Every structure is written in C-alpha cells, then in structure tokens.
Chains A and B, each alone.
Chain A
Amino acid sequence: MMLRINGLTKRYESPGGVVQALHGVSLSVSRGEFVAVQGPSGSGKTTLLFTAGGLLRPDEGTVRAGEVEPYLLNPEKRARWRARTVGFVFQQYHLAPYLNVEENILAASLAAPSEDAPVRARRLMDRFRLRERARHLPAQLSSGERQRVALARALLNSPSLLLADEPTGNLDSDNAGVLLDYLADFAANGGAVLLVTHDDRVARRADRTLRLSAGQLENHPAPTPADQSPD
C-alpha cells in the first residue's frame, strides 16, 4: 500500500467558528492505482490532499506513505521526504513566471539535487511534448502546456505518490484528456495517484472514485467512539 490514511480529522478556526474540514477520513491508495476523490467545493478535498502530502498536519488520524509516517518527522525531514516521495499538481500550475519551461521543471531539483536532473528534465520535456518550448516563459505557453510543465516538475524527482488538485480545472477537454492520460500512465507504471476533483468526467477516468461530502467520505462514515472501542 502506497498511501494509507486513517481517521483523518482537520478543523480550522474561523471568525464564524470552528470549521470541520475533514472528519474521520480513512482511505488507501495502492501502487499502480489511480484514485479520484470527488466532491463539491468546500467538501475538504484540498485539505485531504495537503494532509496526505505532508503539507498540513491533521488534528487527528494518521497518514502513512510506504513505510513513513510524515507527521512523525521533523519539518526538515518531512520536506526531504516530500521532495523524494510526493509530486503535487495544482489547478493554478504555480509556475515561476521568470523561469523558462526547463528551469521551472528543474526547480524541483533544488529540493532533491541530483546530477542527472537535467537529463531527466529533458526526457520529461520530450515525453510531454515540451522540448520545443524549453526556453519559453510560462506567459508564452498555452494552459495545456503550462499544466504539462507543472506535471513534469512534479515528476522530476521520480515520486511514488502523485497528488493532483483539480489539475484539469483550467483545461479544455482535449488538454484535460491528455493530462489524465499522463496521470493514468504514471499509475500504470507503478505510481500511486490521488486526484481530487468536482468533475464527474475526470473522476470517471480513475480506477476508483471516492465521494467526499462535508469532510466525510460517503459509504465510509466517520468512526463513532463505539467503533474505536476495542470491544
């Protein structure tokens, strides 16, 4: 099992009171599996993704990726773990506007330096049909190209877990299809993909779809105190 989440709870303090973003969420993603979590806005999808990626410490519950529980690591080690294990793809791409395509991809190597990073970057550019755009800035790219750059950046350090937050939200259907193909391909090659989306069409491309509503997975209600009793 690549990712195992158990009893995840996350609350936010807000001026209007406490917001329960996640409530006893448990799920697992195996190597080679492409799992989609579908839910409306505000259902806790992004919180779930960030928590799974070691970016947001849960209030309760555990996250285990492979043999590692990232929240048991100190921030330095957790960052290193994230650099080696997790790849993030976001709806907004988050590309540095002043770096060209190749440099944006290589930015991931700052977190996990390796001598063959430039070679891997070029391979990824070839694979995602970005080679001719290597010297272009993000502002000179189409949405689909930008998202492919973001995906290449996420894959540069050869992660085993890919976390995607509405990655097709800004793409037309053709580009969305291409991107989903890549994600499926990543899973088919032994990676684990956890994608959150509100789009049915995207969710249908996954091997398995879970529905998140008001911080709880449907058909996977939060455990009651009685459920947690040893008896």
Chain B
Amino acid sequence: MTIWRLVFKEILHRKLSFALGLLSVVAAVTCAVGATSLLAAHDARTAALLARKEAELKSQMAELEDDMRKAMLKLGFNLVILPKNQDVGDWYADGFATEYMPEDYVHRLAESDIVTIRHLLPSLQQKMTWPEMRRTIILMGVEAEVPKLNKSPRTPLVQPVPRGAMVLGYELSQGLGLEPGQKVRLMGREFTVQRCHAERGTKDDITVWINLREAQEMLDKEGLVNAILALQCICAGPAGLASLRSDVAGVLPDTRVIERGSKILARAEARAKVGEKAKAALERERKARAALRRERERVAAFLAPLVIAACALWVGLLAFGNARARRGEVGILRALGLRGRQIMLLFLSRAFAMGLVGGAVGYAAGLFLGARLEESLEGAAGAVGLGGLLRPGVLPAALLGAPLLACLASWIPALLAAQQDPARTLMEQ
C-alpha cells in the first residue's frame, strides 16, 4: 500500500468531486494556454501577412521600375553625351548634333567603372533631304546597346535596326503611305520598312532610323558618331547628376554631358513617392497589427488571471469539501500512526494528480480554443494551424503550473486536515 494507491482509489471513489476540480483546472489552463496560443497565432499570422505584403511591395516596385524603364524611352534619354565642340544652342535648336566624335568613345565608357550609367546607345544623326522622296528627314543611325562590362546584362531598352531595314517616324510613314514590309530606297540603297512609330509630337515623327554602320557608310562618317545616349541612369537629384557629369568627363574629356534633369527628377521622385507610400502602407499595417496584439494582450492579461483565480478558489473549496468528507478517515489514519505531513501528502497528491491531468487536457484544449478563436477573429483564410500556435515552454509551464496551482489551492484544506484533532473527530463519530 502506498499513498499514491490510496489517492488513486479515493479519486475513483469520489469521481464527481475530482471531476469538478479537474474541470476547473482544465478551464484555468485552457484559458491561459488559449490566450498564449491566440497571441502566438496572431504573431504567426502577422509575420505571414507582412511577409506577403513585403513580397507584394517588392514585386510592385520591380514592376514599377520596369514600367519606368520603358517610360524613359518615351520621355527621352537620361543623358546625351555630345562632342565637346558641339554648339549646345544649335543642338537645342536643331534637335541633333552637327559635330562628331570617335565611335570608340562608347566602348571606353562601357569599360569604365561608372556604375550609374546602364544602357549606352551610340548614334549618328544628320538632317538631310530624302532624295528619292524629296522630304526633309533626320537620319539616325543606331546600333545595338553596348553592354556595361562591369554590370550584369540587362534587358535592352531599344531594339537595334538590322542592316537593310528602317524604322519610320509617324509623319513620314503617314505622309509617304509606307507600311512595314514595304521596300523603299534611300540615297540609292534599298531598305525594308521594319516598323512605323505612332505619333510622338517630336522630331521623332520625321526621323528615319537605320543601322549605324549603314548610316556611317552613307554619310561617309565611318568610325564616327555624334551622340552617345545613356539611358536610365541612376542619377536622381542634382548631386547625382553633377557627380555623373564629372565621372563621364573623367573618362571622355572631349565630350560634354547634357541631361534631361527635370523629367528624370520628376520620374525619380514619383517613383520614390510610390515606394514610400507602399512602405508607409506596410508600416501602417505593421502598427495596426501591433496595436491589435496589445489589445489582445490587455484582454488576456485581465481575463486569464481572473479565470485562474476563480478556478483556484473553486479547487480550494472542493478540497475543503473533500477534507471535510474524509474527517473520519483522517482520524483513523492518525490513530493508526500516520503523521501530519503524510496526511498533507495525501491531499496534496490528489491535488497534484488533478493538476497534472488538468494541465495536459487544458493544454490541448487551450491550443484548440486558441486556433478556433483566432480563426473566428481573423477568418479561416490564412489561418496559421497548430504549428503556428506552439510555443516552447508553454507545455512544460502547463504541466508544472497546473499541479502547482492545484496544490496551492488545496494547501490550506490539506493543512487543516493534517492538524485536525483525531481524538475529537473519532469521538464525534
């Protein structure tokens, strides 16, 4: 015979009393674990939500950046690098350069370590009359982009024009009735119309784009260009542009850099603002989730101790009832020679068993409750599941805390039982 066996048999005998106490412990642990699980689920859902939004933001920003790159092409070039002796007034007035510089300049720039320039397009431009059509045109020879050697390859912004092909501005295609696929002659050479641009309202509408090599041959300017177009430079802000201009001058001292500052800045600022707004929205979401968590913490901090205290009180009252019902038994056990601390152990072991079982059941119930509560508060979509509810330390805390709580609640009844006068009890009975 052991104390534990006695406890076990007594529990089986007084099932209702034990079950009521057990229910109380389960309720207390369920409440505590449920609150913890709810907060854990909140944290898990918040982390998932923010991660998703961050990914969305990143994707949006990437998309926006891509759109911006494409839009840059319509806006014009970020930078135009012209021969140093080019009259800028003429360049502004005519819309093209009349001086020349070696085509090799573009390769020197590509090999330089200027990281703020991305796409390099050499071009040869000349205003002339299209002899066969008797039209004033701007002939522009263009080549494929020259890759920056110190950077990973990027998607080209403009498609090169192959030899024997031409691209026409809106005014020319409309005025001459030319369509893609048609053959046409320019300065005695035959070209196939590759593409016709939509109306832009700029000098582009009277521009003919052909292959740079062909243009150089036709204009007798082999190895020369009169502009290098640097696209999509990362040079937002006056300081960036000044720095870039200085960098280019360092590599190509015989050139000058003209920038399309206002458009670049406006776009850069717009892009930055969109980014900032998205980030602010993300931050607002983060703050809203944190505020919600604080609110839940506040409720849990109020509710859980209240429920635990009420349950402890109930367990204590049941222990009083149990001790009272067993006065005769305690009396005879004392008469048989059991010490006071053995009597206490008898009652506290019962409470311990109640706490241990209640802790285990309450833990499982708490997880379930936390999951259901979280789902009902936040919706089934994106529910974190059991994995998101588990927190290290909660199970050991439940399995240690619940027996401790039950023992503390039963301490006074156990002490009174241990201190009761066996002679008086036996005489009364």
B5 at the interface (CB under 8 A from A): yes
Residues A139-170 near B (CB distance < 8 A): 153, 157
Contact among B6, B10, B13, B334 with A55 in the assembled complex (CB-CB below 8 Å): B334
B1 near A109: Cβ-Cβ < 8 Å: yes
Inside 8 A of B412's CB, which chain A residues have their CB?
none
Q: Which stretch of B99-107, B232-240, B335-343 is in the interface? A: B335-343
B336 near A153: Cβ-Cβ < 8 Å: yes
Smallest Cβ-Cβ distance to B3: which chain A residue:
A110
A71 at the interface (CB under 8 A from B): no
Chain A: interface size category: 20 to 34
Inside 8 A of B342's CB, which chain A residues have their CB?
110-111
Contact among A79, A98, A109, A110 with B9 in the assembled complex (CB-CB below 8 Å): A98
Contact among A53, A80, A84, A106 with B1 in the assembled complex (CB-CB below 8 Å): A106
B303 at the interface (CB under 8 A from A): no
Inside 8 A of B331's CB, which chain A residues have their CB?
94
Contact among B12, B333, B340, B427 with A107 in the assembled complex (CB-CB below 8 Å): B333
Inside 8 A of A86's CB, which chain B residues have their CB?
337
Inside 8 A of A153's CB, which chain B residues have their CB?
336
A76 at the interface (CB under 8 A from B): yes
B94 at the interface (CB under 8 A from A): no
Smallest Cβ-Cβ distance to A153: which chain B residue:
B336
A88 at the interface (CB under 8 A from B): yes
Smallest Cβ-Cβ distance to A111: which chain B residue:
B337
A9 at the interface (CB under 8 A from B): no
In the complex, what's the smallest C-beta–C-beta distance from A71 to chain B, in angstroms? 13
Task: Provide the B1-33 mask, 1 if CB < 8 A to any CB of A, else 0.
Answer: 111011001101110000000000000000000
Contact among B9, B12, B337 with A157 in the assembled complex (CB-CB below 8 Å): B337
A94 near B337: Cβ-Cβ < 8 Å: no
With known contacts A94-B329, A98-B10, A79–B337 Cβ distance under 8 A: yes
B426 at the interface (CB under 8 A from A): yes
With known contacts A55-B335, A109-B1, A111-B337, A90–B426 Cβ distance under 8 A: yes
A27 at the interface (CB under 8 A from B): no
Smallest Cβ-Cβ distance to A46: which chain B residue:
B427
Smallest Cβ-Cβ distance to B419: which chain A residue:
A75
Task: Provide the B332-365 mask, 1 if CB < 8 A to any CB of A, else 0.
Answer: 1111111110100000000000000000000000
Inside 8 A of A103's CB, which chain B residues have their CB?
1, 5-6, 9
B423 near A50: Cβ-Cβ < 8 Å: yes
A82 near B340: Cβ-Cβ < 8 Å: no
Separation of A103 and B4 alpha carbons in the complex (Å): 13
Residues A65-115 near B (CB distance < 8 A): 75-76, 79-84, 86, 88, 90, 92, 94, 96-99, 103, 106-112
Inside 8 A of B337's CB, which chain A residues have their CB?
79-84, 86, 108, 111-112, 157
Separation of A24 and B329 alpha carbons in the complex (Å): 32
Separation of A134 and B304 alpha carbons in the complex (Å): 48
Contact among B9, B10, B338, B429 with A111 in the assembled complex (CB-CB below 8 Å): B338
Inside 8 A of A90's CB, which chain B residues have their CB?
332, 426
Smallest Cβ-Cβ distance to B13: which chain A residue:
A98
Separation of A106 and B2 alpha carbons in the complex (Å): 9
Smallest Cβ-Cβ distance to B339: which chain A residue:
A79
A56 at the interface (CB under 8 A from B): yes
B336 near A88: Cβ-Cβ < 8 Å: yes
A222 at the interface (CB under 8 A from B): no
Smallest Cβ-Cβ distance to B424: which chain A residue:
A56
Q: How many contacts between A and B, using CB within 8 angstroms?
A: 89
Task: Provide the B396-429 mask, 1 if CB < 8 A to any CB of A, else 0.
Answer: 0000000000000000000000000011001101
A94 near B328: Cβ-Cβ < 8 Å: yes
Task: Provide the B307-349 mask, 1 if CB < 8 A to any CB of A, else 0.
Answer: 0000000000000000000001101111111111010000000
In the complex, what's the smallest C-beta–C-beta distance from B333 to chain A, in angstroms? 7
Separation of A98 and B15 alpha carbons in the complex (Å): 11
With known contacts A46-B427, A98-B10, A117–B336 Cβ distance under 8 A: no
In the complex, what's the smallest C-beta–C-beta distance from B367 to chain A, in angstroms? 34
B6 near A88: Cβ-Cβ < 8 Å: no
In the complex, what's the smallest C-beta–C-beta distance from A146 to chain B, in angstroms? 13
Inside 8 A of A56's CB, which chain B residues have their CB?
423
B6 near A99: Cβ-Cβ < 8 Å: yes
Inside 8 A of B427's CB, which chain A residues have their CB?
46-47, 50
In the complex, what's the smallest C-beta–C-beta distance from B208 to chain A, in angstroms? 108
Smallest Cβ-Cβ distance to B345: which chain A residue:
A110
Smallest Cβ-Cβ distance to B329: which chain A residue:
A96
In the complex, what's the smallest C-beta–C-beta distance from A179 to chain B, in angstroms? 18
Separation of A83 and B339 alpha carbons in the complex (Å): 10
Residues B22-53 near A (CB distance < 8 A): none
B9 near A117: Cβ-Cβ < 8 Å: no
Separation of A50 and B331 alpha carbons in the complex (Å): 12
Smallest Cβ-Cβ distance to A95: which chain B residue:
B332
B13 near A94: Cβ-Cβ < 8 Å: no
Separation of A207 and B426 alpha carbons in the complex (Å): 27
Separation of A81 and B335 alpha carbons in the complex (Å): 11
A94 near B426: Cβ-Cβ < 8 Å: yes
Choose among A75, A103, A110 the residue with the greatest number of B CB atoms under 10 Å from its CB.
A110
Choose among A56, A79, A82, A157 the residue with the greatest number of B CB atoms under 10 Å from its CB.
A79
The 9 closest A-B pairs by CB, nearest first: A83-B337, A98-B13, A111-B337, A106-B1, A94-B332, A56-B423, A55-B423, A50-B423, A82-B337
Q: What would 25 A/B residue contacts be, using CB atoms closer than 8 Å?
A: A46-B427, A56-B423, A76-B340, A79-B338, A79-B339, A82-B337, A83-B336, A83-B337, A84-B337, A86-B337, A94-B328, A94-B331, A94-B335, A96-B9, A96-B332, A98-B9, A98-B14, A99-B6, A108-B336, A109-B1, A110-B2, A110-B6, A111-B333, A111-B342, A153-B336
User: Which chain B residues have a beta carbon within 8 Å of chain A's beta carbons?
Assistant: 1-3, 5-6, 9-10, 12-14, 328-329, 331-340, 342, 422-423, 426-427, 429
